[in-house]
Amino acid sequence: MTMTNITLAHGNGGQENNELITKIFYKAFKNDILAKSEDAAVIENGNLAFSTDSFTVSPIEFPGSNIGKLSICGTCNDLAMMGASPKYLTCSVIIEEGFDVKTLKRLVSSMEEELKINGAVVVSGDTKVVPKGSVDKIFINTTGIGEIKQKGISSNNIQEDDVILVSNSIGKHGATIFAAREGIDFSTNLKSDCASLWPVVEKLIDENIQIRALRDATRGGVSAVLNEWAKQSDICIEIEEEKIPVCDEVNGVCELLGFEALSLANEGTFVMAVSKEQVSKALEILKSMQTSKEAVVIGEVTSKHKGKVVLNTAWGTQRFIDLPTGELLPRIC
C-alpha cells in the first residue's frame, strides 16, 4: 500500500500505525536498539530504560483520570514494563492560548501525586503556548529514564509452554473515553483503569518472579500486544475467550461500537508472559495488590500457528485474532 496522506488509522496502535513507524521512522533512524521494538529502549549497558510518549487524549478530564495523571502513568508504565524503576522524567506541555489556569493546576497536581507513587522526579521541562486553533486545549509529552531492576524482559524471547496473564479486566480506558466523548452515562462504575504499574512490577521482581515479557495494553489493546509478541518471538499464543475478564459496562460499549474488548485501550493493565512453574506464585502476588487484583491467566504459548494469535471461543470454535486495523478511537491517549 502506498501512503500519500496520513490518516487517523496511522495512529491506531495497530497495523497502519506499525506501517507508518516502520516505513518512515525506523527506516530513517535505523539502529539496533530501535529494532527491538520494546516499550522502552534499553541503554547504558542494559542498566537504564528510556521511553517517550505524547498525550493528546480528549476529553482532557474523564472518569478515573485526566491527561496529567495519564502522562505520568503512561511513561512510567513503559519503563516498568522493561523491569525498570522510573527515576527521572521530562515534561513538555503545549498549551492553547486562553486555557484555564485552574484546570492546568489540577492537571499538574495529578501529575505530582502520580510521580510520588512512582518515586520519580521531573528534572527538565518545556512550555509552549500556541494560538487558538493550533492545538486542542493541551498536549503533554513525558519522557522517562528508569533503572532496570530485572534484566532480560523482552517481547522477543517468549517460549513455548509459557503462560499468558492479564492483570485486570480489559478495555476500561477505551470504553470510558468513548462514553465521556459521546456523553453516554452508562453507569457510575465505568472508569478508566489508568494507574501506575511500577509498584506491582516491583513486587513481582522482589519476589523473584522471572518475567519473560511484559507490556501495558494501551492503543490497540490486548490484541495488539499479543500479535506483536507472537510475531517478535515467533510463537503461537492461544487464548480462551471464557477466561478474558471484561466488565458489563465495557461489554455494553463494545456492542455499541462494534469493537472487541480485546482491541480497546487500557492504561493500567498489563499482559505478562511467565513460565508455567512460576504462574501460580505470580498470580498470588498480583491478586494481593489493588491495581492487579483481577489478574487471571487467559492463555498459553504453543507452536500451533507460529506468529499468530488464536482465540478458542466459548462455542468451542477457533479463530485468529489479528492486529487491529482502521480508525478505532482517535485521541484515546
Q: Map grid coordinates 488509522 to a residue.
A: 9
When asked if residue 234 is in the footprint of a second copy (CB under 8 A), the reply is no
CB atoms within 10 A of CB 228: 18
When asked if residue 325 is in the footprint of a second copy (CB under 8 A), the reply is no
* DSSP code for 72: H
Nearer to a second copy, 50 or 178 (CB): 50
Nearer to a second copy, 120 or 158 (CB): 120
Beta carbons of 176 and 190 less than 8 angstroms apart: yes
What is the closest distance, in whole angstroms, from the C-beta atom of residue 9 to a second copy in the complex?
8
Which of 61, 117, 119, 122 forms a contact with a second copy (CB under 8 A)?
122
Residues 244-263 that bind a second copy (CB under 8 A): none
* Cell (9 digits) for 318: 477457533
Nearer to a second copy, 43 or 314 (CB): 43
The interface region with a second copy, picked from 24-32, 242-250, 252-260, 308-316 by CB under 8 A, is 24-32
> Is 105 exposed, middle or buried, given 0-12, 13-18 or 19+ CB atoms closer than 10 A?
exposed
Residues whose CB falls within 8 Å of the CB of residue 91, separated by 6 or more in sequence, listed in order:
71, 111, 122, 124, 125, 126, 140, 141, 142
Residue 102-121 contact track with a second copy, rule CB under 8 A, x = bound:
x-xx--xx-xx--x-----x
When asked if residue 135 is in the footprint of a second copy (CB under 8 A), the reply is yes
Is the previous residue joined to 59 through a cis bond, with omega within 30 degrees of 0? yes
What is the closest distance, in whole angstroms, from the C-beta atom of residue 47 to a second copy in the complex?
10
Which of 54, 157, 312, 325 forms a contact with a second copy (CB under 8 A)?
54
When asked if residue 134 is in the footprint of a second copy (CB under 8 A), the reply is yes
Q: Map grid coordinates 519503563 to a residue.
A: 79
